[in-house]
Amino acid sequence: METLTEKSKLTKEQIALCFGERTGYDVETKDIRVRGNWLFHRTRMGLFDRYDKEVDCYWAEDARYNSGVLCMEPWDAVEYENSPFIPKNDKKVFIELKRLDEGYQQHLYDQTEEGQLEKRQEKVVSEYLNNIIQNDKEFKNKCIDIRNKKQDELDKKYGKNKKFALGIGTDDMRKANLITQEMETRMQEIRKEVK
């Protein structure tokens, strides 16, 4: 008779086998963790006895050997220190699971007709705002200041030149009170015009 521990171990071995078949990797059970909707896979740095700094994350809703939901390519990655491979790391893992779920759900939404329409609308709104930025030097300088503040925050959190703020979004402009009521009204009109 199988005990619960043997059954759990067997399930993890089956997941490792299935995952390895899909990815082409030789996967050991010690190198995978399943949390929430995600399978975390750590890899070694070449021939060294150390692991990469990032852990690959694969969408694996209801990960079971025969579920058919294990992906072949990682959706994203997390820093090793934020992964379930670190003992008693539930808070950091929870934050990463939330980020991964939100990003994946947004990806699924973006594939819908409604999501595609929203992307087209946001593209036209971005063009409208970029036109203002290019033609209004004061507005442009305020946007640069916001971007620089975001970069300073990233530098403080991750270290200088580790991560980069590539730009700012409409929400960043709203938080800084750069979007006037007139601009907000025009953006709503633009969204309605796009089909």
pLDDT digits (tens, 9 = 90+) for 86-122: 999 999 999 999 999 999 999 999 999 999 999 999 9
pLDDT confidence bin for 1, thresholds 50/70/90? very low
Burial of 171 (0-12, 13-18, 19+ CB in 10 A): exposed
- What is the pTM assigned to this prediction? 0.69
Instruction: Tell me the backbone φ, ψ of residue 53, rounded to 5 degrees.
Output: -75, -20
What is the model's pLDDT at position 37? Answer: 86
Q: 80-115 in b/e burial notation, b at 16+ Cβ within 10 A?
A: bebbbbeeeeeebbeebbeebeeebeeeeeeeeeee
CB contact set of 110 (below 8 Å; sequence gap of 6+): 116, 118, 119
Q: 122-145 in b/e burial notation, b at 16+ Cβ within 10 A?
A: beebeeebeebbeeeeebeebbee
What is the model's pLDDT at position 8? Answer: 47
- Return the higher-pLDDT residue of 85 and 6: 85
Select from 9, 1, 45 the least CA-distant residue to 30.
9
**Quick one: average pLDDT of 8-13?**
64
What is the model's pLDDT at position 69? Answer: 53
If you search the block for the tokens 């939901």, which residue do you land on?
69
pLDDT confidence bin for 66, thresholds 50/70/90? low
Give 139's DSSP letter: H
Contacts 24+ apart (CB under 8 A), 151-159: none
Percent above pLDDT 70 for the chain: 89
Q: Minimum mean pLDDT among 4-13, 14-23, 178-187: which range?
A: 4-13
CA dist 44 and 53 (Å) reads: 9
Percent above pLDDT 90 for the chain: 57
**Quick one: average pLDDT of 20-43?**
88
If you search the block for the tokens 């852990």, which residue do you land on?
55
